[in-house]
Amino acid sequence: MSAARKLKDFFQQLTNGWLPLAVLLLIFAQLMFWTGKPAQAQETKAPALFHVYFGTYTSGTSEGIYRSTFDASTGTLSTPELVAKVTNPSFLAIHPTKPVIYCVSEVAESLPGSEAGRPTGAVIAFSREAAHGSLKELGWKPSGGAGPCHLSVDLAGSALFVANYGGGSVASLPLNAEGVPEKPSSIMVHEGSSINKQRQQKPHAHSINLDQSNRYAFAADLGCDKIFIYQFDPATRTLKPHDIPSAPVAAGSGPRHLAFHSHGRFAYVINELTSTITAFKYDSTKGDLEPIQTVSTLPKDANTPGNSTAEIVAHPSGNWLVGSNRGHDSLALFSIRPETGELKLVSNVPAGGKTPRNFAFDPTGQWLIAAHQGSNSVQVFAFNASTGTLTPQGEPVAIGAPVCVRFVPVKP
């Protein structure tokens, strides 16, 4: 007898017995689940708990890298705890598959192992304990230049990339099987200057990011007013200049950080010296950035001389972009026009502290944590991705000179 016929006979017997309809429906739903028939598959719940790692400057009360626990179901952040003593771990990066976290040591001095005593900072790898988030140093290498200020890891987790602000260079460092960096396989030293005589007398590489194809790397150089473009060879884990050597921004802009749109067709660069964002159309087949728009990160009535920008992050939905203003002390929220990638300033939300250097969305996209270098605190915001509103959640949490925020899911 077929399964359908058996079910029909079973329900006929139950009906003759006057079983209440509600119970019948409940049993039917359970039977359908057991026979694998109906119904909608339940969505897998995203992790609710995350470790949040904070990079800091250590000239004051901070001693290195700190870790908090963040509950995405409530928006609560625990008191930060020191997990690694490091000098100026001002930027952090997370390995895409291994329990490894990286930091720069933003110094301008000759370190052991540097070539011919050349001024250089360092990049350091730590193993990360999954349940408690503690860190253990695995090893370090010279960064290839003075004052390293930005890190990224390629999508395959095979190489680490570092931008050296003081040295005006970017470097690639192969990662071994454990995710530990080896000595730089390529160091690209920038050349050039621009019109701001105080800040742009020489190159100042401020960030380096790979595109979603893992083929091209983009280095924003504040001193040269250029986005240098490099080809990345995954076999040798080296960088080389691209046929299209760079993308320009307006003279005096001071490009700092870059963020790709979640769909990969657009890229956005925040310009530190002019408090602007330049939107680009991106051709991933050619590795070409075409400028399409430049907008201010400040409201029209702002009177904040000396304001500078810092971080830029695209929301994973692809509908929103956020940049930080230091001086105006706000988070500039933009809507993104999906057809063209153009931006529209929606609001400037008070950052909850002074000098918002860096911020990040949590992996659920429902929360944002901003780090305030000037007021020694971090602030949690709830984010409504439908309306594009940022709402402070609770009071700021104290931590010394925080300048970088990174999330990692807590695993039991």
Residues in the chain where the model's pLDDT stays below 50: 2-8, 10-11, 13-44
pTM summary value: 0.88
In degrees and rounded to multiples of 5, residue 29 shows phi and psi of -60, -40
Query: Each residue of 331-375: pLDDT tens digit?
Result: 999 999 999 999 999 999 999 999 999 999 999 999 999 999 999
C-alpha 400/C-alpha 58 separation (Å) is 8
- pLDDT confidence of residue 174: 98
Binning the chain into helix, strand and coil, the percentages to the nearest 5 are: 10, 50, 45
Given the structure tokens 């720069």, which residue do they identify?
104
Query: Each residue of 49-67: pLDDT tens digit?
Result: 999 999 999 999 999 999 9
39 Cβ contact list (under 8 Å, min separation 6): 29, 32, 33
Under DSSP, the state recorded for 179 is S
- pLDDT confidence of residue 45: 57
Cα–Cα distance list, 303 to 110, 196, 314, 328 (Å):
42, 21, 26, 8
* Burial letters 180-217, b for 16+ CB under 10 A, else e: bbeebbbbbebeebbebeebbebbbbbbbbbbeeebbb
C-alpha 335/C-alpha 316 separation (Å) is 13
- pLDDT confidence of residue 175: 98
Question: Is the torsion defined by CA of 274, 276, 282, 284 positive or negative?
Answer: positive
What is the DSSP annotation of 214-283? SSEEEEEETTTTEEEEEEEETTTTEEEEEEEEEEE--TT--EEEEEE-TTSSEEEEEETTTTEEEEEEEE
Given the structure tokens 């939300």, which residue do they identify?
349
